[in-house]
Structure 1
Amino acid sequence: MSRRLVSAFIALLALFALVAARPRANVDPVFAQIDSIVKSLSEITGLPEKHTVPYGRMSKRQLRQFLSKRIKKTLMPEEIRADELALKMFGLVPQDFDLKKSTIDLLTEQAAAFYDYDEKKLFLLDDSSFDSETTTLAHELSHALADQHFDLSKFMEETPSNDDENLAHTAVVEGQASWLMIAYGLKQSGQAPVPTPEMLSSVVDSSETSMQEYPVLKGSPLYIQQSLLFPYTEGTLFFDAVYKKMGKEAFRSVFEHAPVDSAEIIHPDRYFAHEKPAKPDLPKFTPANGGKEITEGSVGEFDHEMLIRQYAGEKEAGLIAPHLRGGQFKILESGKQHKPVLEYASAWDSEAQATRFFSWYEKILQAKWKHCDVSLSAIDIFAGTGDNGYFVIRLTGSTVTSVEGLNDVEEWKRLKTPSAVQSASKVAFVSRIVAAR
């Protein structure tokens, strides 16, 4: 699922020359700790510091101004529209949701510090407390140390067609830093710098309970909330699993042999097994007037878990989503009115699990639209009209496909015929082969 805005600011905030870095002659009781913190982090990770880290401060007002300018500089209006449209067409955010404004509001509320991967500088916000700044410094300096060895700017480079891999990489960066933040605290207290299961659980619990302190985050759609929390919660647990298996080598391995999707973050055993996500073919929709592609991307386990959780509940999401083996989507403009049409396909680890998801996807469509008139419902097809046009959902072996938002009645009828299933049958076979590997 497209998440360029979220990724750009939670993981790639490049604070270029907005606030001049303070010279070290200015004594700051917090920043004075930088050298000793980096030294401790180097001892824990085995990664030596290659150069000192410049630093500075900024206000919330300056941060908000920067975020607005940053969006204009790095993202075209059509890219923001594409991200927002994808979220809306899947039913993950309300139709009146403003992604740009919400992203700025969220990150202004949440921000305490940033490490600039491009300029190699660390910034803290002026209104942070001394205690929280010390903890935040350890987290952000973990980024700085990793950046000196693995070029985080390149590591976090956005690949629009593989959003799920982008999320996994963000989880690597934030998860390792969160783990190191705990380890640093243990080392400072004279204990072994290895977090206990209880400490790791506290990271997950505190992330969820922190919503009570942040009204903007609490009032955001589930998908937006969890997109911000996932890299810290699941990312921390993922890194701990890798550390338990590999020791200090984990600090290099997660960057040099990075996970390729959110499933490997959620299930570290898949990371160790080097499983690759399936890429099921999209349904063969023929747009009127040729059509124009708006956006495309991957739809991973995290995306499916949030979609199912939103409409079917957390328990059902936990039962179904882990069986996903990969998903793809594309949004095209079709017809004279340039209406968006969603093409979607997901591959599952068995026909039984695909059938289970297919059944729930019918209910998801009926829940996400105000109007859903079903004209055809069988064990392997579900079709009708929704808020934005005609739709056809198909179950073919272990693959579920969907076309939503059609304006062309004849194309809709064609997609409902058995001949339209042939390409999907091939997908099911390929998906089973991928899963078997």
Structure 2
Amino acid sequence: MARARRSRPTGVVTVLKRARRLPLCPLAAVFFAATASLPAQTVPPQPIAPPPVTSTTHSESGLSESKAPMTKDQAAELFRSVDEILAFVAKDSHLKASRPVKRKLLTRDQVQRDLRSKMSEDEGAKRLERSELVLKKFGLLDRDFALKPFLLSLLTEQVAAYYDPKTRTVNMLDWVKPDEQKSVLAHELTHAVQDDRVHLEKWGTPGPTDISKNVGDDNRHIQLDEASTARESVTEGQAMAVFVDYELKDLGKTLADSPEIGDRMREMASDTAGSPILARAPLLLQESLLFPYGAGLGFEQQLLQSGGVDVAFAGALDRPPGSSHEILHAQDYLAKTPVPVLTMPDIHGLLDKDWDPYDVGVMGELDVRIITELFGGQQMAGPLAVAWNGGIYFAAQNRNAAPAVKQTPASIGTIYYSQWKNRDSARSFLKIYAGALARKYSALKKVDLPNGDEDHLLYSTSEGDVWLSLEDTGVFISEGYDRAMAKQLEAKYREAQGRGPLMQAGSQMPQHELTMGFRSLLPGIGVPRAVIDATHRLVQ
């Protein structure tokens, strides 16, 4: 179902990024490697029998698509423009372009073939499957939603020119008019100058990718996992800033001196009406796809206004933020305000006999915003997300589940512990989460408790017990474990808090966040066409 356009006070949200570990860019990150297997071309390719007349269609994304491949002359002119645009990018960002950039022209079939290949790779496919089960267990995706084929359709619709840091190649499309690809090149070539400074492939994935096996691993993942949300928001936000400046150059304006343009653009980018597949995507995918571009642009805009170009570009690359909270609240990043990181207790002694560790990470402010909007509506999402004060989750798979059941969320048990800035917000979140349980479980039944109250809730389901408990400002939620086990787990989680370290904003301690972690499983395809369309509508 298409969603109505929504305005967000803190910017738009983008997609999933646990997949740089899996494949998907508009959702956030699978695209950078999408065409790594194709040989780079350093000269324009020969056209495929260009027809005497070239007709065009206006795509759903706002780009004009040619019904025939571009001609040899068009390709040569587009290839030549790369160096000119790269010079503009370097001047606009104050980042040096110290190495040449290869350029490649791709057909639609090549792009689709490579997307399928990347999303079918053994390691990536397994990670995507694991993320899908956890997201469905939390209710962020419907149980019957077929994620992989939908992602392939979505990425194919949204693909535009994109930069591959592995081969230092900018990939262009032979079915899109050359003039309309140039502004997209300004975005993608920003990644090239970023690559010169920090080597994006390594910089974007600094944390562990293995499965956590003990409490030491658990806390290492929580504190040192990949910085997919924050770091991708920096790279895409910077690229969006240059993209906007390139679009405005003939008007003599920039994002820095026309901040209202960035504000309007972020609002327009949330309108998915021009992208039919994106419009009917689950809220999780819409938010995950657009967050690095919209919220990232907002983050960079605040840095530009507070410290200028060098702070916004080189400064953010050299001292990257570590969480979605800092992207949404750039003032906390600039002030180096500590971001709360909760501590994982040692629960392996309780669980490992019957449960295999499956996933562990941070449930950050962005995750809370998405969950609250999905379960409780948009009006509740903003205020509750701001009241979030730290959250972690753990997922395990039942060792005794039948092979067929292990392919479903029914085999997964989850724990989610969160802290809040006040008790009222904590209680509101507990109620919203409890109210959505009927959407996830077909055989849900509330269990009456002796001396029960609204802060302690127990439900029975076909997939095991669900226990929700509020103490002080901490909410504990267990799904899939029996009540006795849940009570033991809760005691360990509550006892462990207060002893964990606080992550300093900008320190080299990035977090893996549930929803944005999914993004890293996707192949990097560049700026989504929905964002390009929003910019063209605004500037032209």
TM-score (norm 2): 0.73
Specify which of 213, 221, 237 is matched with residue 298 of structure 2: 237
Partner of 1:222: 283
Partner of 1:394: 469
Alpha-carbon distance between aligned partners in 2 of 1:414 and 1:227, rounded to the nearest angstrom: 33
Specify which of 403, 426, 449 is matched with residue 354 of structure 1: 426
What pairs with 1:96-107 in structure 2 (closer than 5 Å)? 96-107=144-155
What pairs with 1:329-344 in structure 2 (closer than 5 Å)? 329-337=393-401, 339-344=411-416
Alpha-carbon distance between aligned partners in 2 of 1:340 and 1:221, rounded to the nearest angstrom: 21
Alpha-carbon distance between aligned partners in 2 of 1:434 and 1:379, rounded to the nearest angstrom: 31
Amino acid of the structure 2 residue aligned with 1:265: I
Query: Structure 1 288/173 Cα, relative in aligned 2: closer, same or farther at 3 Å?
Result: closer
Aligned length: 429
Which protein has greater RCO, CA pairs closer than 8 Å, 6+ apart?
2
Partner of 1:289: 353
Amino acid of the structure 2 residue aligned with 1:396: E
Partner of 1:277: 340
Higher mean C-alpha deviation, range 146-155 or range 122-131: 122-131
Query: Structure 1 324/245 Cα, relative in aligned 2: closer, same or farther at 3 Å?
Result: same
Alpha-carbon distance between aligned partners in 2 of 1:384 and 1:288, rounded to the nearest angstrom: 24
Amino acid of the structure 1 residue aligned with 2:396: L
Specify which of 364, 373, 393 is matched with residue 300 of structure 1: 364
Alpha-carbon distance between aligned partners in 2 of 1:412 and 1:288, rounded to the nearest angstrom: 17
Matched residue SS, 1:149: helix
Query: Structure 1 269/191 Cα, relative in aligned 2: closer, same or farther at 3 Å?
Result: closer
Alpha-carbon distance between aligned partners in 2 of 1:34 and 1:215, rounded to the nearest angstrom: 31
Q: Which runs of 5 or more residues in structure 1 are unaligned?
A: none
Percent of pairs with identical residues: 25
What pairs with 1:413-428 in structure 2 (closer than 5 Å)? 413-416=484-487, 421-427=490-496
What pairs with 1:20-419 in structure 2 (closer than 5 Å)? 20-23=40-43, 27=73, 28-73=76-121, 75-157=123-205, 159=207, 160=209, 161=221, 165-192=227-254, 194=256, 196-209=258-271, 211-249=272-310, 250-274=312-336, 275-281=338-344, 284=347, 286-287=350-351, 289-337=353-401, 339-375=411-447, 376=449, 378-406=453-481, 411-416=482-487
Alpha-carbon distance between aligned partners in 1 of 2:333 and 2:122, rounded to the nearest angstrom: 32
Query: Structure 1 56/79 Cα, relative in aligned 2: closer, same or farther at 3 Å?
Result: same
Matched residue SS, 2:340: coil
Matched residue SS, 2:435: helix
1:20-42: CA deviation from partner (whole Å, max 9, x where unpaired): 42416965222322122111221
Alpha-carbon distance between aligned partners in 1 of 2:40 and 2:108, rounded to the nearest angstrom: 15
Whether the 8 Å CA contact 1:164–1:299 is kept in 2: the answer is no
Alpha-carbon distance between aligned partners in 2 of 1:19 and 1:152, rounded to the nearest angstrom: 20
Whether the 8 Å CA contact 1:397–1:425 is kept in 2: the answer is no
Matched residue SS, 2:99: coil
Higher mean C-alpha deviation, range 89-98 or range 271-280: 271-280
Query: Structure 1 129/379 Cα, relative in aligned 2: closer, same or farther at 3 Å?
Result: same
Query: Structure 1 300/282 Cα, relative in aligned 2: closer, same or farther at 3 Å?
Result: farther
Query: Structure 1 399/44 Cα, relative in aligned 2: closer, same or farther at 3 Å?
Result: same
Would you say 1:16 and 2:87 are equivalent positions?
A: no
Amino acid of the structure 2 residue aligned with 1:354: A
Alpha-carbon distance between aligned partners in 2 of 1:203 and 1:192, rounded to the nearest angstrom: 13
Query: Structure 1 149/234 Cα, relative in aligned 2: closer, same or farther at 3 Å?
Result: same
Higher helix proportion (structure 1 or 2) = 1
Higher mean C-alpha deviation, range 29-38 or range 89-98: 29-38
Alpha-carbon distance between aligned partners in 2 of 1:77 and 1:316, rounded to the nearest angstrom: 35
Whether the 8 Å CA contact 1:280–1:327 is kept in 2: the answer is no
For residue 148 of structure 1, report the CA deviation from its aligned partner.
1.2
Whether the 8 Å CA contact 2:418–2:476 is kept in 1: the answer is yes
Alpha-carbon distance between aligned partners in 2 of 1:41 and 1:270, rounded to the nearest angstrom: 28
Whether the 8 Å CA contact 1:391–1:404 is kept in 2: the answer is yes
Whether the 8 Å CA contact 2:244–2:254 is kept in 1: the answer is no
Matched residue SS, 1:213: coil
Amino acid of the structure 1 residue aligned with 2:18: R
Query: Structure 1 124/171 Cα, relative in aligned 2: closer, same or farther at 3 Å?
Result: same
Alpha-carbon distance between aligned partners in 2 of 1:394 and 1:267, rounded to the nearest angstrom: 29
Whether the 8 Å CA contact 2:325–2:364 is kept in 1: the answer is yes
For residue 427 of structure 1, report the CA deviation from its aligned partner.
4.4
For residue 130 of structure 1, report the CA deviation from its aligned partner.
3.2
Matched residue SS, 2:386: helix
For residue 85 of structure 1, report the CA deviation from its aligned partner.
0.5
Alpha-carbon distance between aligned partners in 1 of 2:195 and 2:146, rounded to the nearest angstrom: 32
Partner of 1:4: 18
Amino acid of the structure 2 residue aligned with 1:173: T
Whether the 8 Å CA contact 2:476–2:490 is kept in 1: the answer is no
Alpha-carbon distance between aligned partners in 1 of 2:137 and 2:433, rounded to the nearest angstrom: 13
Alpha-carbon distance between aligned partners in 1 of 2:194 and 2:352, rounded to the nearest angstrom: 49
Alpha-carbon distance between aligned partners in 2 of 1:22 and 1:202, rounded to the nearest angstrom: 38
Alpha-carbon distance between aligned partners in 1 of 2:265 and 2:255, rounded to the nearest angstrom: 16
Whether the 8 Å CA contact 2:163–2:188 is kept in 1: the answer is yes
For residue 391 of structure 1, report the CA deviation from its aligned partner.
1.1
**How large is the RMSD of aligned CA atoms in angstroms?**
2.8
Matched residue SS, 2:24: helix
Partner of 2:69: none
